[in-house]
Chain A
Amino acid sequence: MYHAISVHGLEKNYGSHAVLKGVDFDVAKGEIFALLGVNGAGKTTTLSCMEGLKKYEKGNITVNGKMGIQLQSASLPAYIKPMEAVRLFAKWNKSSINQSTLATLGIPELKNKCYAELSTGQKRRLHLALALTGNPDILFLDEPTAGLDVEGRASLHDLIRLLKADGKTIVLASHDMAEVEALCDRIVILNEGRIIFEGTAAELTEQMGKHYIIHIKTEQGSESFETDNIEDSLLSLLGSLKQKGSRIRDIKVDRGTLEQHFIEMTRRTKA
């Protein structure tokens, strides 16, 4: 398989404190890949090393393609206007501006505002537009939807899916588990500088050995049942409710959210 990014044996220290203790993973071309971890787990440091912003003591990082980077902590001159910034960055990258991407991000609507007047969400959209001006093959997004409202978040998710469909590789660092679950093909969970899980969200669920949880709401109230055999349990539950004459108002089956699995896995590793 052709790898867009390969990270092998990555070690990084801050003074005498080892932040990354031999991190290995590959990111396939065209996939959306997430780095997860609690604060201090080493995900931002891993991201910075991949982006070339931080040096590392040991290991190898290979990035096959042009990078576009949206930093978590980013700023621009206070009086620059969004389209001026886009034009400036496009000129330095000798690339043309994709008007439809700009329109999706709502950049033309901000033409009369200076950077200092933009809201947090508008600034995030602008920085994503700047990351895309060089037409990168690989896009690094650090907390891309932080500060965005529901509508902005949904349109950004659509854009990320469009970019993936366009063949771009996307590496995402996010605290929003629902976002990661909805968007990412594969995830890596970092804990204290080491990888404790690498795979898909479904594989994480399997690994955590979660039962099915059936949530049922009837006229009498709500109840939840845990089971390993979803088919038999569901049929018997429905049969018993029918016998009692209870009317079902809502029924939901889940296997736990990525967030629950993430919390449990990091807790288990610490124990």
Chain B
Amino acid sequence: MSAFLYGVALQWKLDIRSKSLLISCYLVPLIFFALMGGIFTSVNPEMKDTLIQSMTIMGVSMGAFIGFPVSLVETYGSDVKNVYKVNGVPLFFGLISMFLSTFIHLLLMSVIILLAAPAAFGASLPQNLPLYFAALAVFTAVSLGVGSLLGLAVKSQAKLPLFAQLIFLPSIMLSGIMFPRDLLPEILAFIGKVFPATWGSQLMLNDGFRLQNLWYPLLLFIVSSTGCALLLSKLKKE
């Protein structure tokens, strides 16, 4: 346990030293929030009620799909995994430590948005903060689960951005955080339901933390965890 905890704390430090993760987990989401928060609330003042949720979903999606898989490929698509393998470090350690470290970074970014949005743009705070954070934790974990699958399955740094955008862009465009989902064509609204961001936005709204909004994210988390376990076992045998 001591090795595991030391490893997670170390990964947290490495993520702070790695500018790329800081950019995708803090800088870009917060700049997007600073710019779009003003635009959204000016164009449609009703957006103030859901601004925190929308900006948080965008930021978490960016960190989980764009930033996190890069760190995984740096470990599992390189000689680092062989060094872990031959020196007694279990292969799952890298994945879990990076998952937990990025989870904490994304929660911190979300807290910054939560604290800044009311003061900066007059955004409404969620009515039930504990339930909001529970929903945020579920959404972040599910998004990182999908990001894990992406980072382990795509071993090439060159191909990764393409696959990452294939998940990130529809997540943002079809989840209802940019445009109301009612205005989307039926087929696009249906495709949007495949991505975790759609479910995340429903979960994080007031009174949204319900079983009907939870079953799909939990299923997706189980599927991605199983997929990761299979990919790690394949890597171990290679």
| Interface size, chain A (Cβ < 8 Å) | 29
Q: Which residues of A contact B90 (CB under 8 A)?
A: 92
A window 108-137: CB within 8 A of B: 114, 127, 130-131, 133-134
Minimal Cβ-Cβ distance residue in B for A72: B79
Interface pair B88/A93, CB less than 8 Å apart: yes
| Interface size, chain B (Cβ < 8 Å) | 24
Query: In the assembled complex, how far is the CB of residue A107 from the closest CB belonging to chain B, in whole angstroms?
Result: 15
B159 CB–A CB distance under 8 Å: no
Given A74-B82, A88-B7: A134 and B88 interface contact (C-beta under 8 Å)? yes
Set B14, B85, B86: member contacting A79, Cβ < 8 A: B14
Given A53-B82, A75-B78, A76-B80: A87 and B87 interface contact (C-beta under 8 Å)? no
Interface pair B74/A93, CB less than 8 Å apart: no
Bound CA span A171–B184, Å = 65
Given A75-B78, A77-B14: A87 and B86 interface contact (C-beta under 8 Å)? no
Interface pair B89/A92, CB less than 8 Å apart: yes
Interface pair B79/A114, CB less than 8 Å apart: no
Query: In the assembled complex, how far is the CB of residue A101 from the closest CB belonging to chain B, in whole angstroms?
Result: 15
Given A78-B74, A93-B88: A130 and B17 interface contact (C-beta under 8 Å)? no
Set B2, B13, B75, B80: member contacting A91, Cβ < 8 A: B2
Given A74-B82, A76-B80, A114-B17: A69 and B87 interface contact (C-beta under 8 Å)? yes
Bound CA span A127–B85, Å = 13
Interface pair A71/B83, CB less than 8 Å apart: yes
Given A88-B89, A91-B6, A92-B88: A76 and B74 interface contact (C-beta under 8 Å)? no
Set B6, B17, B79, B237: member contacting A87, Cβ < 8 A: B6
Query: In the assembled complex, how far is the CB of residue A136 from the closest CB belonging to chain B, in whole angstroms?
Result: 10
Interface pair A88/B3, CB less than 8 Å apart: yes
Bound CA span A93–B88, Å = 6
Q: Which residues of A contact B79 (CB under 8 A)?
A: 71, 73-75
Q: A-facing mask of B60-95, CB < 8 A → 1, else 0? A: 000000000000001100111011011111100100
B226 CB–A CB distance under 8 Å: no
Interface pair A78/B82, CB less than 8 Å apart: no
Interface pair A133/B87, CB less than 8 Å apart: yes
Q: Which residues of A contact B233 (CB under 8 A)?
A: none
B39 CB–A CB distance under 8 Å: no
A254 CB–B CB distance under 8 Å: no
Bound CA span A144–B83, Å = 15
Interface pair B18/A74, CB less than 8 Å apart: no
Bound CA span A126–B125, Å = 50
A84 CB–B CB distance under 8 Å: yes
A window 130-169: CB within 8 A of B: 130-131, 133-134
B10 CB–A CB distance under 8 Å: yes
Q: Which residues of A contact B85 (CB under 8 A)?
A: 53
Q: Identify which of A51, A76, A114, A131 gathers the most chain B CB atoms within 10 Å of its CB.
A: A76
Interface pair A84/B10, CB less than 8 Å apart: yes
Q: Which residues of A contact B80 (CB under 8 A)?
A: 75-77
Query: In the assembled complex, how far is the CB of residue A114 from the closest CB belonging to chain B, in whole angstroms?
Result: 7
Bound CA span A89–B94, Å = 13
Given A88-B3, A88-B10, A114-B17: A76 and B88 interface contact (C-beta under 8 Å)? no
A80 CB–B CB distance under 8 Å: yes
Interface pair B74/A134, CB less than 8 Å apart: no
Interface pair A77/B88, CB less than 8 Å apart: no
Q: Identify which of A53, A79, A114 gathers the most chain B CB atoms within 10 Å of its CB.
A: A79
Given A71-B82, A71-B83: 12 more A-B contacts, CB < 8 Å: A73-B82, A74-B82, A77-B14, A77-B75, A78-B18, A79-B17, A87-B6, A88-B10, A88-B89, A89-B89, A92-B3, A93-B88
Top 8 A-B pairs, shortest CB-CB distance: A91-B3, A79-B17, A69-B86, A75-B79, A92-B3, A79-B14, A93-B88, A92-B89
Q: Which residues of B are at the interface with A, using a C-beta cutoff of 8 A? A: 2-3, 6-7, 10, 13-14, 17-18, 74-75, 78-80, 82-83, 85-90, 93, 237
Q: Which residues of A are at the interface with B, using a C-beta cutoff of 8 A? A: 51, 53, 55, 67-69, 71, 73-80, 84, 87-89, 91-94, 114, 127, 130-131, 133-134
Would you mind naming 28 contact pairs between A and B with Cβ atoms under 8 Å apart?
A53-B82, A55-B237, A67-B86, A75-B78, A75-B79, A75-B80, A76-B80, A76-B83, A77-B74, A77-B80, A79-B17, A79-B18, A80-B10, A84-B10, A88-B3, A88-B10, A88-B89, A89-B87, A89-B89, A91-B6, A91-B7, A92-B87, A92-B88, A92-B90, A93-B87, A127-B83, A130-B83, A134-B88
